[in-house]
Amino acid sequence: MTAALLTLADARLPAGGHTHSGGVEQAIAAGLVHDPSSLAGFLLRRLQTAGRVAAGLAAAACRGGDPAALDAEADARTPSPALRAASRQQGRGLVRVGRRAWPSPLWDALPAAPHHPVALGAAATAGGLTPRDAAGAAAYLSVSGPATAAQRLLAMDPLTVAAVTARLAPGIDAVADGALRDGLPADADPLLDLLAEVHAARRDRFFAS
Amino acid sequence: MITRVEVVARRGPGGRTVLPVVRGSGQLAVRRTGPASVHLVATAFGPLGGDDAEIRLVVEEGATLAVRTVAAAVALPDRGGDRPSAQRVVAEVAGSLDLRPEPTVVAARAHHRAGLTATLAPGAVLTATEQVLLGRTGEEPGRWTGTTRVVVDGRPLLHTTVGLGPGAPAWLPPVAPRAYASTVHVGQAAGVLTVDDAVRLPLEDGWVATAWGAELHRVVRAVEAVA
């Protein structure tokens, strides 16, 4: 591991991730997330579906897979228009900062607004990281941003939320390890799709997704 | 037990569909029930854990095919171990395929893996439904894993794996439904539609609708409402 991985997974990397709640805002509105234990359940659910898919795509992109083909596979695994838009927004944000942080010809090979995991894989390669690193970052980011969003929306104790996230570490590692093994996973959660679409139709939301 | 089914639909004289290949072995027999429709008939109990079924459907350009089953399938656990039962539908469609089997009921301790891989030519039409109930009445839920991959003109359109039941990674309270239904359609576009516990998502020239809940008849009604 190199410090580039810490940078890539750092919430302060200005890639725009902080404007997305990963479905948490709507899960709170629907009463599904209301305390640390329900948040932990939601994050686990997200990790095992969206996180697993993102880890697989990021690892494949880092391994040198064709970015356009992987971007199409990401589309096929993301039928929700709201989630597609959220992923592409964050992908574009990451390309913008990644180009400056880790100059590489790889950036020019990406689609204009790639899915976030595809951009993450390219960033990992450009930063000298491995496919396992890319998968780890993708899996971690699938829960770290939503955890912070829940903390802000529910005014939860930051120490408690940090502990919830930290306790997911074995699961995050397992998902990242699996990304090297399982080809391109396609685990889906129709609940997250529904929450994302209901959320996108709201006018009174704080987060973009 | 190994089950293999193959049906080929071809455009015949005058544009009417003919079925030059209608073949079944193992647990499924195939009955012609119309000029362009077949019913799959279970000839044995099950599937049981360890059983493997593959249903190959080819619908050539200009042909139509409707595939139905006569009754719900009850997936039962492996008698000796914990192997899942598997059923894969592999479809190549240049014409129009309408696949609407009766529900799959997954008994307690059983794990059923369902797969649909549909490879579509440009302009092909597909409707495929899935209805799942975990556990028979008064029984603990079984486990179901369903993977759908639809490719149109060489490009992936939809690829999802949904896991339901105890041990499935994202089947977690408070949303751990016993009943699930999904329909994927290619041929006519439709936009986003959301209701309680059901959602329709647009695909290029198509859509996918999903519903979940406690009771299958309500879930089926919900998926039809957003389809």
Mean pLDDT of chain A: 95
Residue B112 lies in a domain: yes
Total structural domains in chain B?
A: 1
**Under an 8 A CB cutoff, do B199 and A194 touch?**
yes
Q: Which one has a higher pLDDT value, B112 or A2?
A: B112
| Confidence band of B173 (pLDDT split at 50, 70, 90) | confident
Peptide bond between residue B47 and the one before it cis (omega within 30 degrees of 0): yes
Residue B33 lies in a domain: yes
**Under an 8 A CB cutoff, do A194 and B172 touch?**
no
Residue B134 lies in a domain: yes
Residues of B with Cβ-Cβ distance to A190 under 8 angstroms: 162, 182, 199, 210, 212
In this prediction, residue A1 carries a pLDDT of 59
| Proportion of chain B above pLDDT 70, given as a percent | 100
| Confidence band of A114 (pLDDT split at 50, 70, 90) | very high
What is the pLDDT averaged over residues A47-55?
Answer: 97
Q: At B210, give phi and psi (nearest 5°).
A: -140, 140
Residue B57 lies in a domain: yes
Q: Which residue in B161, B176, B165 sits closest to B214, CA to CA?
A: B176
CA-based nearest distance B16→chain A, Å: 34
- What is the C-alpha separation between A178 and A23, in angstroms, rounded? 24
**Under an 8 A CB cutoff, do B155 and A201 touch?**
no
pTM: 0.97
Which range of residues forms the domain containing residue B95?
Answer: 2-176
Cβ-proximal residues to A108 (8 Å cutoff; 6+ apart), any chain: none
Residue B78 lies in a domain: yes
Task: Read off the pLDDT of residues B21-63 as tens digits, 9 standing for 90 and up.
Answer: 999 999 999 999 999 999 999 998 889 999 999 999 999 999 9
Task: Read off the pLDDT of residues A176-190 as tens digits, 9 standing for 90 and up.
Answer: 999 999 789 999 999
Mean pLDDT of chain B: 97
Residue B192 lies in a domain: no
Residue B201 lies in a domain: no
Residue written as token pair 């009766």? B102
Q: Which of B161, B180, B184, B195 to mutate to probe the A interface, most A CBs <10 Å?
A: B161
CA-based nearest distance A73→chain B, Å: 6
The size of chain B, in residues, is 227
Q: What one-character-per-residue DSSP string does chain A give?
A: --HHHHHHH-TTSSSSGGG--TTHHHHHHTTS--SHHHHHHHHHHHIIIIIHHHHHHHHHHHTT--HHHHHHHHHHT---HHHHHHHHHHHHHHHHHHHHHS--GGGGGS-SS--HHHHHHHHHHHTT--HHHHHHHHHHHHHHHHHHHHHHHHT--HHHHHHHHHHTHHHHHHHHHHHTTSSS--B--HHHHHHHHHHHT-SS-SS--
| Buried residues in B82-92 as b, exposed as e (16+ CB within 10 A) | eebbbbebebb
Task: Read off the pLDDT of residues B123-155 as tens digits, 9 standing for 90 and up.
Answer: 999 999 999 999 999 999 999 999 999 999 999
Let me know: does A18 contact A148? Beta carbons within 8 Å. yes
- What is the C-alpha separation between B39 and B32, in angstroms, rounded? 7
Let me know: does A124 contact A8? Beta carbons within 8 Å. yes
In this prediction, residue A40 carries a pLDDT of 97
Residue B216 lies in a domain: no
